Amino acid sequence: MVLVYAESPKGKFKKSAFEAVTYGHKTAQVLGTQCVALTLGDAENAGQLGKYGAAKVVSVGDAALNNFDSQVHAAVIADAAKAVGASVIVVSHSSSGKALLGRLAARMDAGSVSAAKAVPTNDGGFKVKTNVFSGKAIAEYQINSANKVLSLMGNAIQPEEVGSDVAVEAVSVTVPASRVAIKEVKTVEGTVPLPEAELVVSAGRGMKGPENWGIIEDLATTLGATTACSRPVADTGWRPHHEHVGQTGVAVRPNLYIAAGISGAIQHLAGVNSSKVIVVINKDPEAPFFKAADYGVVGDLFDVVPRLNDALKKYKANS
């Protein structure tokens, strides 16, 4: 059995949860077994996970699980796996999923693969691919233990509707007391967080100063994109730190990454080279970013970005 932990922050599933269930379903098919989805704490309309291939949904509704503590969550997930007889666990490669992956692997003495990017194969060994060296290479891991734990990289596969809603059953699992007290949560509301964003508009030192960011925000608004920046921009306080993309910042994997006034240093590319399509706007035709780009515009961003925004508005109005 394959058990997928479908995260439901503030009681709601995000796209990453549907991706994880789709992935769990496909993994179960490869192994000739079934996929069961697990929800912890509040989870509205959990039966819908059946649409993405869960044969059933089990839940531990204890409100204490609405606060994330890797120690508590890992214990509950491992016990739920035992209860449903699952030996393969799938979590999202989110901030909580990353903490759970290691804990679950240690708890279940399982081989694990972090940020899986493709459905496993099971032909002479259970193998899973993931990016290594900050996206500069791909490694195929083989897991040799009976128990296996995988975290699924965001946007690696798209959710697929293959079934219909299923029943939600409560599983009885003891929830241990947490030793971590959450004092405060500060999130930016209204925008998709960068690690999950499908459209990203990013800008660098070529912007000259924070007062010029209006054109970037306008473009992001037109597209419905999340804004990002290069490291020096965050370091000098032009933009908040959570926007910093790259090797030492956030790694993104959007369908579209638009970079304006960013030179494309290797440390920046490390965080963006898994993007599906990259558009680079830079006045220097020699900027290294053009080598990593699909589409390039050599020009002054202060002209090009507003022009692109107008063209997009026209396109949106006509489609």
Partner 1 sequence: MKLLVCVSKTPETTAKISFSGDNTQFNEAGVQFIMNPYDEWYALVRALELKEKAGGSVTILNVGPAANDTVIRKGLAIGADNAVRIDAEPKSSLFVAKQIAAHAKEEGYDMVFLGKETIDYNGSEVGGMVAELLGQPYISFATAMEVNGNTATITREIEGGVEVAEVDTPFVLSASKGLAEQRIPNMRGIMMAKRKPLKVVAATDATDLAVVASYELPPAKSAVKLIDPENMDELVRLLSEEAKVI
Contact between 170 and partner 1 by CB under 8 A: the answer reads no
By CB under 6 A, what part of segment 212-231 binds ligand FAD?
230-231
By CB under 6 A, what part of segment 157-186 binds ligand FAD?
none
* 127/283 with CB nearer ligand FAD: 283
In the structure encoding, which two tokens stand for residue 75, read together? 């214990």
The one among 79, 247, 306, 312 contacting ligand FAD by CB under 6 A: 247
Contact between 205 and ligand FAD by CB under 6 A: the answer reads yes
Residue 239 binds: one of partner 1, ligand FAD, none (C-beta under 5 to 8 A by kind)? none
Q: Is 136 helix (H, G, I), strand (E, B) or coil?
A: coil
Contact between 297 and partner 1 by CB under 8 A: the answer reads yes
For residue 9, what are the contacts with CB-CB under 8 A and spacing of at least 6? none
By CB under 6 A, what part of segment 280-299 binds ligand FAD?
282-284, 287
Cβ count near 235 (within 10 Å): 12
Residue 246 binds: one of partner 1, ligand FAD, none (C-beta under 5 to 8 A by kind)? ligand FAD
Residue 314 binds: one of ligand FAD, partner 1, none (C-beta under 5 to 8 A by kind)? partner 1
CA distance 73 to 66: 10
* 91/168 with CB nearer partner 1: 91
Please answer whether residues 202 and 268 qualify as being in contact, where contact means their C-beta atoms are separated by less than 8 angstroms. no
Cβ count near 266 (within 10 Å): 13
Cβ count near 259 (within 10 Å): 32
Please answer whether residues 28 and 38 qualify as being in contact, where contact means their C-beta atoms are separated by less than 8 angstroms. no
The one among 97, 249, 254, 296 contacting ligand FAD by CB under 6 A: 249
Binding residues for partner 1, how many (CB under 8 A)? 99
Least distance CB 254 / ligand FAD (angstroms)? 16
CA distance 303 to 258: 15
The one among 240, 267, 277, 294 contacting ligand FAD by CB under 6 A: 267
Let me know if 2 is exposed, middle or buried by CB neighbors in 10 A (0-12, 13-18, 19+). Answer: buried
By CB under 8 A, what part of segment 182-201 binds partner 1?
182-188, 191-196, 199
